[in-house]
Homo-oligomer: A and B are copies of this chain.
Amino acid sequence: MDPSRDRAMEVAMKVIVLGGDGFCGWPTALHLSNLGHDVIIVDNLSRRAIDLELEVGSLTPIAPLGKRLAAWNEITGRKIRFERLDVAENYHRLLSLIAGEVPDAIVHFAEQRAAPYSMKSSAHKRYTVGNNLVATHNVLAAIVESGIDVHLAHLGTMGVYGYGTAGMKIPEGYLPIEVVTDDGVRVQQEILYPSNPGSIYHMTKTQDQLFFAYYAKNDQVRITDLHQGIVWGTNTPETSLDERLINRFDYDGDYGTVLNRFLMQAAVGHPLTVHGTGGQTRAFIHIQDTVRCVQLALENPPQRGERVRILNQMTETHRVRELANKVAALTGAQVAFTPNPRKEDAENDLHVRNDLFLDLGLDPITLDDGLLREVTEVAARYAHRADLDKIPCTSTWTREQRPGAPVEDPKIVAEA
């Protein structure tokens, strides 16, 4: 039996999971429920609605939430409650829920989380800004108005740091700096790492940080901000229990994360679409480590009056073209270098500290451990559900960028 389970059972918490029907929220809700915590999912089902808008679906078959929750109860005997409300729109319902339930913690996933979706059009930019910023602020305002000492754990992103690091390791949230005063005295300070977001979506997470810093300072709200890398993988032990519990696997140009896209492309015989040179180095984490990290964060909250606790929720870094090569080596897929729809540096290094989670006991699942299982158990198994038309990244960062789709001249399609 998982030793973390015994520990958690001793301090069973009531936890509201905002966005608990989504890709990270759903497995987090199941994991926390399985540990014996009392979990309430809040969701407006927006992720399902966006599938309708984009005319796409998860590669894996996602059951309706009612069916998911009934299956969880049937299989484990545990009950997860569900409140359908929009955190950005229904402030007073959220406040009533907090005041009535008196939760120990709130996990906040209730944000639009795809960078390409946030860049599709002015309307998508404005939706992402309005939804994400107002949702985060509503949660904070409701916690303060309720007068309850709730620990808020928020999913941030490694993207708040940007991808130019001057040769140093990215610290966990705070950067020690030196400033020279007018008298020539060197003063040492520690500041929130200067943000450099790469999309409207990432920008909202940098703005969230300023909400958190302010509410921690003025109202002593206890806040943990988890700067997560790109998530790969699909299932956790809990979502693997029954197909009705299966997690999302997005492969489309807007919501699919890079590694999952490569896996699906390999499964359907499509060349792996590398944007630009593939020289972008990014941070990654397996979905199973995501849910463990949230657990660890909840078990180790900051004290009241402490500054925001920021942890880098990632376990390894890889260059995009190296990922493509790994998948190609496993599957025999070809690699296609496409135009880069994003406005970003073609190549970058990335060195990230993640000592805090390692010190708390995280034992990461590496790509080399888990990749083959994803290929066979998920991508190949559900490949028949794929809509190949949805593979290209059609959302471009400016009018000058071009979609991330293989161009017609076959010369640029090279073997890995």
* Residues of A that sit less than 8 Å from B by CB: 91, 95, 122, 125-126, 129-130, 133-134, 137-138, 141-142, 144-145, 147, 166-169, 175-183, 185, 187, 189, 191-192, 194-195, 197, 200, 203, 206-207, 210-211, 214, 218-219, 343, 351, 397-399
Contacts and interface: CB of A to CB of B under 8 A. Distances in A.
A18 to B, nearest CB: 17
Given A200-B214, A207-B210, A214-B197, A168 B181 contact: yes
A87 to B, nearest CB: 12
Contact of A194 (B130, B134, B145, B191): B191
Contacts of A351: 182
Contacts of A192: 194
B125 A141 contact: yes
Contacts of A129: 133-134, 137
B181 A179 contact: no
29 contacts: A122-B145, A126-B137, A126-B141, A130-B130, A130-B137, A133-B134, A133-B207, A147-B399, A166-B179, A166-B181, A166-B189, A167-B181, A167-B183, A167-B185, A168-B179, A168-B187, A175-B179, A177-B179, A178-B179, A189-B194, A191-B194, A197-B210, A197-B214, A203-B210, A203-B211, A206-B210, A207-B210, A207-B211, A219-B398
Contact of A177 (B141, B178, B343): B178
A409 B166 CA distance: 59
A144 B166 contact: no
Given A179-B177, A181-B166, A210-B195, A218 B141 contact: no
10 nearest interchain CB pairs? A168-B181, A191-B194, A177-B177, A122-B145, A207-B207, A166-B187, A178-B178, A122-B141, A203-B214, A167-B181
Contact of A187 (B122, B167, B197, B218): B167
Nearest to A211: B203
A206 to B, nearest CB: 5
**A166, A167, A187, A203 interface centre (most CB from chain B within 10 Å):** A203
A91 B167 contact: no
Contacts of A167: 181-183, 185, 187
A169 B200 CA distance: 33
A197 B184 CA distance: 27
B168 A144 contact: no
Contacts of A133: 129, 133-134, 207
Nearest to A206: B210
